[in-house]
Structure 1
Amino acid sequence: MDSLTQIVLGASVGEAVLGKKVGNKAMLYGAIAGTIPDLDVLSRNFVDTVTAIEWHRGFSHSILFSLMFAPVFGWLISKIERKSAANWRDWTRLMFWGLFTHPILDAFTTWGTQLFWPIDLKLAFQNIFVIDPLYTVPFLICLILAMRLNRVSDKRRRLNKMGLVLSSSYLIITLILKWFTYNKFINNLEEQGVEYTEIATRPTPFNTLLWTANVDTKNAYLIGNYSLFDSQPVRFKAYPKNHELLGKWSDNDKVRRLINVTEGWYTVEKNEGLLYLNDLRFGLISMQEDESRFAFNYEIRPTANDEVQITETPKYEGGDPRKLFGALWYRILGN
């Protein structure tokens, strides 16, 4: 999830664990704990693109990381807060839950998380977008109201609990919506006589009213959208796989690792002699009918010594945000 959401979750968890004893400092350190796992993005400054992608939501988002570093951070805080009523064990408990709930929430997104690292098992339930106001805003309001009250106030605890209940309930609702929309996609594929081997569904940006599906067929991937307000059948658009365009580079180590990151959901394009690999898991940049650009696209450029350099291309270059949001809102309202 986005940084603000993880800060809110971490602060709320900190309050639940230690708020009665240390007040708003529990929220402060909980918010810090909720931020720490995402510092893995700094790795992109030191390693190549593919390695940075592999590391993202890896070790720092694992149970092992929470268990290893919660005592370390807890010790550091106990030294900083020497006059606090909380001891090292208290701060360790707060940091563990702040660190641990971060990857738990991320597991519900499309990217997912390697919670059981180093075991090669990614959890990605794909039932909430990385930024969802309906999850974050009510949660944030409850947290702000709670932090204004005395640390021993029962109302403070109730407000914080309300934020946790509302946000968790919303996650459950999104799982139900995912199941409902998944069946809608399946029924439409059957009615249209489409033969496929796999289907993956997820919500579109900033909402859970409009969902999209990637469908794996023999030579192409189909992408379709379904809104809860739709009255017409789902229209699927085909995107050729073009995997053969990789040629000899399909056996290149970096390329194979990038394909592994996409979990097999990728297409290949060739433009001006260069190859481009699209990661289909995050869909197209916009809901505009003529849109062909994918949110995650990687340039594969041959270099010396029969190697390749892989770089992520800009996502929204030349795009008009108003048109992007306008097209999204228009599609949410139904076909």
Structure 2
Amino acid sequence: MDNLTHGLLGLAIGALRRPDVRPGTGERASPTDRAVLLGAVLASELPDLDTLLARGDAVTVALQAHRGLSHSLLFSPVVALGATLAACAVFRGARPRPVFLASLASVLFAHLLPDLWTGWGTRVLLPFSDTRLSLDWTMVVDPWVTLPLLVGTVVAWRLRRTAWRRALLVGLALSAGYVGARVAAWGVLTRRVEAAYAAAQSVRVFPLPFSVSTWRYVATLPGGMLAAGEVPLAGAPREARRVESSVDALPPDVRAVGPVREALAWARFPVVTVAPVEGGGREVRISDLRYHLRGEPTLGFVIRLDAGNRVAEARLERGGSASELLRRWRGQDAETTRPREKE
């Protein structure tokens, strides 16, 4: 998730603890009460410091350095301890135990879990497994997750010493309810697409940007073909395109290049092209069909190799400018999709 949502979730999780001084009494919050809230917010943000410390090309930073060990379950107590020490240093006299427990809960439920439920996913099992896990319930930025938390925080700030805690918890409940509805929709639509593609080897449903009623899907068909399309909450799957997963187009020496290897590990439904470039090098494009609009990939990595198979350039491409993506999202540049008949 984005950092604003992480922080707002952390604040709301910190408010789950019943404070020593109850709101509305007119008394000043205790050092422990304030340290709990600060520690929870810090713990919800600290894992993403790996982005600031990362070095290397765009592929390595996006896929290897970011969401690394700081995002793992094993490392979460260390993150919580760091947040606890910082919060207790700011609010002297705070009791470390409740601050640590709130911070640990915030790492797990305000950072690791939200990263896990996005389509991008995260590697929570490091260092035991490098596998990127994803639940595919929401986009990395989902305003309907963030908005209730933001409104609750603004209301809590205005109420201050009265019902601030209730405002935060109401925002958390509404946000959690929305995510729960997404989980239910994901399950229903997955079964609907599976029924439409009875011969498919696997089916996966993904969130569509800024849409609540329509999702994307990719079905892996016999022979290595991938079927991509959209499925609405009320209606049949609409296939937009079939494409061959062209991973075999990559020669072994290209696959062994670090950024190429990382991009292939990231792409669950890879669409790969290799083209010669001036000077004897090659340009490798690795897109993932789970990020598509009307069947056309919108997100991928471009790695340019020189004649000696060394990385000359590596970058992330998002499928065009914001205006181009918006036109594609509205369907202005695409052919009319048609319902997918059951195979």
Separation (CA, whole Å) in 2 of partners of 1:36 and 1:70: 9
The code of the aligned residue for 2:318 comes to K
Give the counterpart of 1:115 among 124, 133, 137. Answer: 124
Separation (CA, whole Å) in 1 of partners of 2:213 and 2:49: 31
Separation (CA, whole Å) in 2 of partners of 1:18 and 1:56: 34
Deviations 1:113-139 (A, max 9, x none): 222321215431111111222221122
TM-score normalized by the length of structure 1? 0.82
Task: Kindly indicate whether residue 64 of structure 2 is the aligned counterpart of residue 54 of structure 1.
Answer: yes
1:38 corresponds to = 48
Deviations 1:168-209 (A, max 9, x none): 22222111100111112112223xxxx332222111012332
The structural deviation recorded for 1:282 is 4.1
Structure-2 change in CA distance of 1:89 and 1:130 (3 Å): same
What does residue range 158-169 of structure 1 map to in structure 2 within 5 Å? 158-169=166-177
Task: Kindly indicate whether residue 309 of structure 2 is the aligned counterpart of residue 299 of structure 1.
Answer: no
Task: Kindly indicate whether residue 113 of structure 2 is the aligned counterpart of residue 104 of structure 1.
Answer: yes
Give me the identity figure in percent: 22
What does residue range 1-335 of structure 1 map to in structure 2 within 5 Å? 1-17=1-17, 20=21, 21-22=30-31, 26-44=36-54, 46-52=55-61, 53-82=63-92, 86-101=94-109, 102-120=111-129, 121-151=131-161, 153=162, 155-190=163-198, 195-217=199-221, 218-230=223-235, 233-254=237-258, 255-263=260-268, 265-271=269-275, 273=277, 274-280=282-288, 282-284=290-292, 286-287=293-294, 292=296, 294-303=297-306, 305-309=308-312, 311-315=314-318, 317-320=320-323, 322-324=326-328, 326-327=330-331
Deviations 1:230-254 (A, max 9, x none): 3x55224112222232123354142
The SS at the match of 1:64 is coil
Deviations 1:78-132 (A, max 9, x none): 22222xx523333323322222221112111112222232121543111111122
Separation (CA, whole Å) in 2 of partners of 1:240 and 1:220: 5
The structural deviation recorded for 1:63 is 2.1
How large is the Cα RMSD of the aligned pairs? 3.0
Structure 2: which 5+ residue stretches go unaligned? Answer: 22-29
Separation (CA, whole Å) in 1 of partners of 2:291 and 2:326: 19
* Partners of 2:227 and 2:239 within 8 A in 1: no
Separation (CA, whole Å) in 2 of partners of 1:163 and 1:225: 30
* Partners of 1:10 and 1:33 within 8 A in 2: yes
Structure-2 change in CA distance of 1:80 and 1:158 (3 Å): closer
The structural deviation recorded for 1:222 is 1.3
* Partners of 2:249 and 2:272 within 8 A in 1: yes
2:24 corresponds to = none
* Partners of 2:206 and 2:215 within 8 A in 1: yes
* Partners of 1:252 and 1:307 within 8 A in 2: no
The SS at the match of 1:115 is coil
